[in-house]
Structure formats: C-alpha cells, structure tokens
C-alpha cells in the first residue's frame, strides 16, 4: 500500500470492548467497527491508548488483529500499535503483525524508560529495519514524556518504512516546522481531538481520533468538509463537537469515550482493571455532556460524496 493511499483521512484509535468478566467482547468490537466503516473512516489502529493496550497481552493484540482483518473490507487498512519496553519485543511484534496481515504499525517510543534522543532514534530504527510495514510514529510528549524532535526526524529520514507521524505535541507550530523541514516526506496526522481541525488546516492529511469511536459521522464530516474547502460548515460541526472532544484529553479518556460510545449503542462501559467504570457525580457529569450533545446534534450534509 503506497504512502499516499495509506496516510489520509480519519483513523480511529479503536476501543477494546470487554465483557463484565473482562474478556474481549468481539461481538461489540465488530458492531463498533462496522458502524465506523459505514461512516467513512479511512483505517483503524488497534491496541492504542483507547484500546487499553497496557492491559492487553500480546496474544490478545494479535487475536484482535486477526479478527479485525476478517471483518473489514479487502484493502481496508488495519494498523497495530506497538508500545513496548524492550527493542527485542517491539521487533518481534512488528514481525508477527506482518505475518498476521497488518497493513501498518503505529510506534511509540520505549515505554517506562525515559530514553535519550539517541536511544529513541535507535529504537525506532531497529523496528523500521525489521519490517517492510509502513510506520506511523506517535509523537506525544505530553502523555508519554518523550518528544520526538524535528532533528530526531531528520535522523529517521533514512528509514523508508517510517512514513508518517501522529502529531500529539499539542503545539500547532510543530506541523509547520515539520513541513518546512521535510515537505511531504513524513505525512502528518493530527493526534489531539481538540485541535484536530486546526492541525488539518496547518497541513495534516487526517487524524488519529478518539471521539470518532462514538461519533464517526461527525468526525469524518468535519475532515471531508475542510478538505473540500467548506470551512464554515466544518467549523459549525466542530464547535458543536468541542465539549465531547474535550473528553479525549483527560486521564480517564477511555472510560469517558466508552461511555459516549455506549450512549450511541456501539460499546459498553466495561473496562479492564486497574481501570474502573465511572460512578457517582463523575459519571453523571460526563453523561450530561454526552446527552446534551445528542440533543443538539447538527444535521450533516452529504459529506460522503465530497
């Protein structure tokens, strides 16, 4: 799959639904996935933060990959996230993902260890050299403590499999810095819901999104309208969406977004411990944000045909 064919549009960081006894709920996973595909998403990313990667075993991640590939249409991109503590394990997962039919990888810096710039670049390079799968680097210094700088990307240019970046620095100027330095060598996907439209207007070719897991039509509509130059329509939907998008930038974003998707009938609230489902005032407060948005939902134009 070519770089231009792969890196564009809306990529949900998909949820991992669970049953009450913490087993993966594949029926709900399929329901959510098909709902999002129907809304016009461009691909999916499995086992990210929203997918509760930290609580999934490697085998569960591979099972999700195999199941997703059996459900999605032919040639629909399915990416697996890699968030590991050792280079050896990251390389092994990349190779296994290729074997199981993954179309690409999202790759975080080493976990739990505050690696130096040289160590991060070496880690990324080891994975990139071990696979021919296209790689999306996840640059999120706010949540993961490591900033993949523009100079570090210069060191990564020599790896053809490293093709894109999930831009989650929350610094909009970083999009321009990347484009000024590299042109379209690294395709940029926005990674923060609350500045997704702004990131697109600065040159991102799409988004890796969170609230899309509950509201895929609205998410794709904003992207498509902006691409078509119908900015005022995109902004109107975006302003309606903002109270929901802010659920994506909270430590309990998994519980918040699962609650939103449950309200839409495409998930349930179950999470895997140590996470706990919401209760009391917090649950009621978040649910009110969701129900208020549902009550004022905008009518969408025929965005799929733009």
Kindly tell me if the per-residue pLDDT of 3 is higher than 70.
Answer: no
| The predicted structure's pLDDT at residue 78 | 98
Domain count within the chain: 1
For 15-72, how does the pLDDT look when each residue is reduced to its tens digit (9 = 90+)?
999 999 999 999 999 999 999 999 999 999 999 999 999 999 999 999 999 999 999 9
pLDDT of residue 4: 57
- If one counts every other C-beta atom within 10 angstroms of the C-beta of residue 22, the result is 12
Q: What pLDDT, on a 0 to 100 scale, did the predictor assign at position 113?
A: 87
The pLDDT value given to residue 2: 60
Q: Are the beta carbons of 10 and 41 closer than 8 angstroms?
A: yes
Q: What is the pLDDT of residues 90-140, one digit of tens each?
A: 999 999 999 999 999 999 999 988 999 999 999 999 999 999 999 999 999
The pLDDT tens digits for 176-209 are 999 999 999 999 999 999 999 999 999 999 999 9
Residue-level pLDDT at 257: 98
The percentage of residues in the chain with a pLDDT greater than 70, rounded to a whole number, is 99
pLDDT at residue 224, as a whole number: 98
In the prediction, which pLDDT does 153 show?
A: 98
Question: What's the average model confidence in pLDDT over 266-289?
Answer: 98
Instruction: Give the residue ranges of DSSP H helices in the chain.
Output: 3-6, 26-39, 58-71, 87-99, 117-129, 141-144, 150-156, 173-182, 196-201, 216-227, 231-245, 253-263, 280-295
- Phi-psi map region of 145: left, alpha, beta (phi>0 left; psi -120 to 50 alpha): left
Distance between CA atoms of 277 and 300, rounded to whole angstroms? 32
Q: Which domain holds residue 170?
A: 3-305
What per-residue confidence (pLDDT) applies to 1?
Answer: 63
Using alpha carbons, select from 62, 129, 130, 64 the residue that is nearest to residue 97.
62
The domain spanning residue 202 has which CATH number? 3.20.20.70
What pLDDT, on a 0 to 100 scale, did the predictor assign at position 120?
Answer: 98
Mean pLDDT of 213-224: 98
**Mean per-residue pLDDT, 255-278:** 98
Could you tell me the pTM of the whole model?
A: 0.97
Checking if the pLDDT of 267 tops 90, the result is yes
Q: For 229-250, how does the pLDDT look when each residue is reduced to its tens digit (9 = 90+)?
A: 999 999 999 999 999 999 999 9
User: Residue 262 pLDDT more than 90?
Assistant: yes
Alpha-carbon gap, residue 63 to 52, rounded angstroms:
14
């Amino acid at each position: 799959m070519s770089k231009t064919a792969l890196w564009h549009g809306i990529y949900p960081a998909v949820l991992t639904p669970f049953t009450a006894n913490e087993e993966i709920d594949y029926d709900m996973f399929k329901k959510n996935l098909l709902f999002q595909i129907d809304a016009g998403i461009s691909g999916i990313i499995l086992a990210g933060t929203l997918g509760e990667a930290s609580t999934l075993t490697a085998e569960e991640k591979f099972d999700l990959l195999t199941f997703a590939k059996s459900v999605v249409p032919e040639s629909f991109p399915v990416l697996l996230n890699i968030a590991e503590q050792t280079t050896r394990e990251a390389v092994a997962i990349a190779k296994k993902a290729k074997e199981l039919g993954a179309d690409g990888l999202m790759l975080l810096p080493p976990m739990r260890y505050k690696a130096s710039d040289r160590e991060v670049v070496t880690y990324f390079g080891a994975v990139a050299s071990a696979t021919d799968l296209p790689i999306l680097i996840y640059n999120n210094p706010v949540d993961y403590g490591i900033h993949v700088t523009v100079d570090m990307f210069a060191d990564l240019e020599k790896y053809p499999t490293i093709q894109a970046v999930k831009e989650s620095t929350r610094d909009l100027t970083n999009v321009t810095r990347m484009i000024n330095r590299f042109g379209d060598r690294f395709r940029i996907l926005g990674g923060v819901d609350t500045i997704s439209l702004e990131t697109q207007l600065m040159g991102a070719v799409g988004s890796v999104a969170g609230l899309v897991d509950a509201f895929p039509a609205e998410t794709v509509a904003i992207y498509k309208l902006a691409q078509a130059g119908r900015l005022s329509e995109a902004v109107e939907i975006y302003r309606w969406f903002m109270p929901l998008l802010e659920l994506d930038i909270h430590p309990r974003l998994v519980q918040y977004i699962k609650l939103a998707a449950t309200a839409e009938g495409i998930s349930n609230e179950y999470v895997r411990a140590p996470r706990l489902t919401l209760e009391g005032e917090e649950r009621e407060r978040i649910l009110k944000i969701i129900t208020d948005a549902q009550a004022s939902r905008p009518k969408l134009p025929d965005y799929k045909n733009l």
